Amino acid sequence: MKSIKRLIKMTSALMILMVAFSSATYAALQPGGPSTNGNTNINSTLSYQEVIKILEDIEGSSKGKVDVFTLDQYGKSEQGRSIYVAKVGKGPQKIWIQAQIHGNEKLVTEAALQLLKTYAKSGEKDVEKVLEESTLYFIPMYNPDGAEMNLRQTKLTDSGKLIDLNRDWTAAGFEAVESRVVYAYWADVNPDFAIDLHHQGFKQVYGTNESTSFSLGISLAPDGPTLPSIGYNEITKQMMAYVYDELKDYGYTHIDRYQVGVDREAGTGYDIDIRGGVVSAMMMGLNYKNLNPEGHSHPAVFFETKGNTSESSLGQKSNGYLTKQNYLALKSLVHGYVTGEVEKVNPDDWYNIPYYPLAGYLTDYNGVIPAGANSGY
C-alpha cells in the first residue's frame, strides 16, 4: 500500500516535471519569469529616454566623477539604440553592474541609477572607500529595445526572431547585436566581479507563507555540475551569504535562494546551471572570436526582485521598497567586496539562506540533472 502510494506520488511528480520543463513552459522557469508580451501600465517606470536624461544629469552634477558614454563604437541595438555605460571611481578593482537585460524587468534600472547617484554625490566614508579602491561600470539598460517594447527579449531586425539576451553568450556565437556589443566591451574592460539585476514572478520562502521579495542567485549552481571546477564555488557563496546577512533584517524583505520549478507540496526546488547566461559565460571565461584570448573570467552573481510588468504583478505601492532593497543589496555587496569583508564570510553560510531542498539542476546543456549527479565540465 505504502509503496503504491509512493509510486503514484513519484509518477505524478514526474508528470509535473515533464510539464514544467516542456518547451512551452520552459521560459516560465528562466530567471526573470515568463516572457509574455507586457500589458501592464509601465508609466511609473523609466523609459529609455528618461534613463539617458538621468545619466546625463548625474554626470553633469558629479563634478567630473561620473563619465557617461555609449558603446556605439562596438555597435547599437537591433533597432539602432545606443547602449549606455556610466563609469565612476578611480580604483584598480573593476566592478561590472548590469540591469534590464530583460526588457520587462524595470525597477532594477532605477536601483542601479540610484546607486550611481550615491557614488556621484555622497561623501560618506564607505562610498569614498569604494571609489578609491574600485572603478564601477554601470550598464543600467542592457536591452533598450526590449525595454521600449516591454518585452523580455530583443527582436532581430532581419527575421523578427525574439532573442533572450541572457541565453546568447555562447561559444557557438551570438544571435543578437546587443550581445556582440556588450561582449566586446566586457572583453576590453576585463572586470574583476559582476552583478546582474533581474525580476522574477511570485514565489514563497521555503517553510513560510511569506512572499519572496528578493532572491539571491548564482547562475552556475554552487556545488553543482559546473562551478566547483572553475574556481568560483566558494567566493560566490560568500558573496550571497554576505548580502543575506546585511539585508535580512531590513524591513519588508523576505529573502531566499533563487530556485525554479518550486513544488511547495513536495518541498523541493531546482537550482539553475545555465552556461549560456551572460554572467555564467563571464565566470567560464568565454572566448568568442578570440576577443578574450587569455580566457579572462571572474565571479558573478545575480539578484531577482519580486514582480514583473508582464504579469501585472508590479504594484506601484511596493516599487519603492523593492527598489530600495536592490539598492541596499548592491551597495553593501560592492562595499563588502572592495573591503575584503566578503572573503571573511564562511562559505557554508550560503546554506543559511532559505531554500527548497534540492531536487536537481535545470541546465541549458543537459536538461534536468538530478541532485547528486555530477556531469563534470
Q: List residues near Zn ion by CB under 5 A.
A: 31-32, 102, 105, 198
CA distances from 119 to 45, 55, 197, 279, 323 (A): 22, 13, 18, 24, 17
Task: Note whether 83 and 124 are within 8 A (CB).
Answer: no
| 234 strand-pairing partners | none
Q: What's the alpha-carbon Rg for the chain, to the nearest Å?
A: 20
Q: Which three cell numbers stand for residue 39?
A: 500589458
Whether 304 sits among the annotated catalytic residues: the reply is yes
| Residue 105 vs 271, nearer CB to Zn ion | 105
For Cα atoms 143, 145, 146, give the angle at the middle one, nearest 5 degrees: 70
DSSP character string of 11-39: HHHHHHHHHHTSHHHHGGGSTT---PPP-
Taking the complex as a whole, the smallest distance from the CB of residue 95 to Zn ion amounts, in Å, to 20
The C-alpha atoms of residue 146 and residue 150 are separated, in whole angstroms, by 6
Give me the catalytic one of 304, 311, 341, 343.
304
Q: Which three cell numbers stand for residue 161?
A: 526572431
| Residue 31 vs 222, nearer CB to Zn ion | 31
Q: Which three cell numbers stand for residue 308?
A: 514583473
| Residue 100 vs 253, nearer CB to Zn ion | 100
Taking the complex as a whole, the smallest distance from the CB of residue 288 to Zn ion amounts, in Å, to 22
Task: Note whether 223 and 371 are within 8 A (CB).
Answer: no
Taking the complex as a whole, the smallest distance from the CB of residue 248 to Zn ion amounts, in Å, to 23
Taking the complex as a whole, the smallest distance from the CB of residue 15 to Zn ion amounts, in Å, to 28
Question: Taking CB positions, which residue lies at the least distance from Zn ion?
Answer: 32
The C-alpha atoms of residue 100 and residue 31 are separated, in whole angstroms, by 12
Taking the complex as a whole, the smallest distance from the CB of residue 194 to Zn ion amounts, in Å, to 15
| Residue 155 vs 198, nearer CB to Zn ion | 198
| Residue 196 vs 234, nearer CB to Zn ion | 196
| Residue 206 vs 302, nearer CB to Zn ion | 302
Taking the complex as a whole, the smallest distance from the CB of residue 167 to Zn ion amounts, in Å, to 11
Question: According to DSSP H, which parts of the chain are helical?
Answer: 2-20, 23-26, 48-60, 107-121, 125-133, 144-149, 177-189, 233-247, 278-284, 316-339
- Catalytic positions, written as ranges: 304
